[in-house]
Homo-oligomer: A and B are copies of this chain.
Amino acid sequence: MHKPALAGVLVLLLACPAPGRAAVTGVVFQISTTKVASWKVAMHNVHNLEATGISGHDIEIVILGPAIHILLKSSPVAPSLTRLHASGVTIDACRAAIRRARLAPGAILPFVHYIRSGIAEVVRRERQGWAYIRP
């Protein structure tokens, strides 16, 4: 191939949005309510997705403000979250939301991944082409 053609091809490779490729891998779940029933549905959804062959490493659960109590060691879905974490699922929460809810750091599940903004993380993943699920 001529060099200019090669350059054109490289430009195109960069122009073709990366999200298209990332789309083949990730799924981001947003949990944003205080309802335990909806937390259980979300856990079930994630387990179910893994059962269809999607790796936990390609799944991220973002906990938004009002849902923050889901992350307590005493949460009714703590065993599910622990199992999901063990299979590679990332569980994100904003440190600020935890502070606002006055949760004691020692009361929080130890594997929570702290991020600056939950909502910004969901947007970031969608922009990368991840599928978005709001259970």
Known: A8-B6, A65-B44, A132-B132. A120 touches B52 (CB 8 A): yes
Q: Which chain A residues (16-31) contact chain B, with CB distance < 8 Å? A: 16-21, 23-24, 27, 30
Q: Which chain A residues (22-55) contact chain B, with CB distance < 8 Å? A: 23-24, 27, 30, 32-33, 37-38, 41, 44-45, 48-49, 51-52, 54
Question: Once the chains are docked, how many angstroms separate the CA of A122 from the CA of B49?
Answer: 10
Interface of A is mostly: helix
**A86: CB under 8 A from chain B?**
no
**A13: CB under 8 A from chain B?**
yes
**A101: CB under 8 A from chain B?**
no
